[in-house]
Structure 1
Amino acid sequence: MVATVLHEIPLQGGDVTDGVVRVGDTVRRPASTSTPSVHALLRHLEAVGFEGAPRVVGMDEYGREVLTYVPGATGLRAEIVSDEALAGLAVLVREFHDATAGFPLTLDGWEGGSNDDKAPEVIGHCDLTMDNVVFRAGLPCALIDFDLARPTTRLFDIVTTLRHWAPISDPVDRPAVLRSLDVGERLRLFCDAYGVLPRDRRRLLELARLRFHRSYTAMRTRASAGGNWAKMWASGAGERIRRAAAWLDVHEDELHAHLV
């Protein structure tokens, strides 16, 4: 057990997990059914030398998981939507996917939810919002909050990431700093930096549409159980997904032109 002896500082950001605090150089998070699998993954990443994730310290006397604190900044800021930041994120995601090679794809305890129909290839983070990427000096250096990580395809995790970072969404739902971005160019930039294969580029928008459909259904189901998922749904999350899907339908041809 890891004893709590320092002052707890609540950490903001994210939509689902309450009770995340910083204690000295560690982060304490409520444990969940996925915690054993996530800890196994994080220990694997440490063993293979992947530097872009927190390390597992253990559990504290309150049954919370204890991870190392990754210094830097998270959240939406103007400097993190640069081309350099997006390319850096693509490289970091590629390095993360490559680092999961050899990790078992059949462990129990992963969170369910929307996914690709193809056989899993890697462990995907599956929740790379601006709150879950740590930046230093305007460039991404680490991924955090692996609660929704699970076996999936590379392309599914890429699509999930681009949903937020391109972003694939109706401009009415984008923060001001993202509203005027050239989404097609950012799709191409990310794919180039990651090294997405031509066959996957051709399928990217199709999978994005499938993800919208399944995300809507999964979120509605989770919201029915109450808690923070219900709060997100009540705040209009379902409507935002529907608008993003409709926006994709209208702009699919011009976006696809950047991917061929």
Structure 2
Amino acid sequence: MAPTPRPERPGPDTEVLHGGNTSGPVLRVGGTVRKRWHRAAPSVVHLLRHLEKNGYEAAPRSYGRSLTGDQLLEYVPGTLADQGPPLTADELHRLGGLVRRLHDLTAGHGPRHPQQAVWDVAIPDPREEVVCHNDLAPWNLVRDGDRWVFIDWDGAGPGTRTGDLGYAAHGFVPLHAGGNPDADGARLCALADGYGCDRAQREELPDAVLHRVRGMYDLLVEGGRTGRAPWAGLYAQGHADHWGPAADYVARHRDRWRAALLR
């Protein structure tokens, strides 16, 4: 049964939420979040309802489309992971398990009418194994006590297990320029262990990280060159200054990390 939408009428508890870099303004109205409806929204709604039906607690409930034409989602209280210290090794292990559960539930998943499926995947993977979140990052993980919830599913769509996990590794390990390659390798292993990566996935994971990180840098640079929204705006804000050096860092150390993952 589809969830019952919450009341539509805005009240004094309306606030503008942090984020919305690619989706436009995000508002909280009472116990709901309102976001712009977009071309992939029907597929995202179906995905979130599939996850809810199967007991996946690390995603917000979708209430469909509001009377004003916006996406209507559950508001999840808590603190974004990027506002706290880096995850511990045990927390990275837990995170890997949440990503694995997501992928196991979305393997073979698609909208009721696959020919009508529309997704908005910014960096396509070389294969389509599962439906990925595609932006698993500290700025999209809300923690409230024992409940962890991934938000901002607008970029969800088909991809690979290691691509989604590799993007998560960039933000949560984190794999950023100026890191400690040995410490980063140990933390990457904790994430992969939590996911339950097999040998082939461990071999592929460092290259999958590079594909996603370099892909984000290229997307920003191309946006800056062509003016394509929203990437042009993010490029102007200096986001490429992070992603370019991060990609170089991953490229330099991926063989070391692959060896650590396979030990």
Aligned length: 252
How far 1:149 moved relative to its partner? Answer: 0.5
**Residues 207, 254 of structure 2: 8 Å contact kept:** no
Paired residues for 1:97-246 under 5 Å: 97-104=103-110, 106=114, 108-118=117-127, 120-137=128-145, 141-171=148-178, 182-223=183-224, 224-246=226-248
Percent of aligned positions that are identical: 31
Deviations 1:100-159 (A, max 9, x none): 2341275532003222212x111100101212111123x561111101110111111001
Deviations 1:227-250 (A, max 9, x none): 542221123222322212221232
Aligned to 1:4: 9
**Residues 92, 140 of structure 1: 8 Å contact kept:** no
Cα–Cα, structure 1 residues 254 and 180, in superposed 2: closer, same or farther, change >3 Å?
Answer: closer
SS in 1 for 2:60: coil
**Residues 221, 240 of structure 2: 8 Å contact kept:** yes
Aligned-partner Cα distance in 2 for 1:180–1:204: 15
Taking structure 2 as the reference length, what is the TM-score of the superposition?
Answer: 0.86
**Residues 121, 134 of structure 2: 8 Å contact kept:** no
SS in 2 for 1:93: helix
One-letter code of the match for 2:28?
R
Aligned-partner Cα distance in 1 for 2:20–2:132: 18
Where structure 1 has 5 or more consecutive residues not aligned to the other structure, the ranges are none
Aligned to 1:67: 73
Aligned-partner Cα distance in 1 for 2:217–2:138: 20
SS in 2 for 1:259: helix
One-letter code of the match for 2:206?
L
My pick for the range that moved more, 238-247 or 102-111, is: 102-111
SS in 2 for 1:135: strand
Aligned-partner Cα distance in 2 for 1:194–1:219: 29
How far 1:69 moved relative to its partner? Answer: 1.1
Aligned-partner Cα distance in 2 for 1:4–1:58: 16
Taking structure 1 as the reference length, what is the TM-score of the superposition?
Answer: 0.87
Aligned-partner Cα distance in 1 for 2:76–2:86: 17
Find the partner of 1:28 among 9, 34, 37.
34
One-letter code of the match for 1:135?
R
**Residues 85, 140 of structure 1: 8 Å contact kept:** no
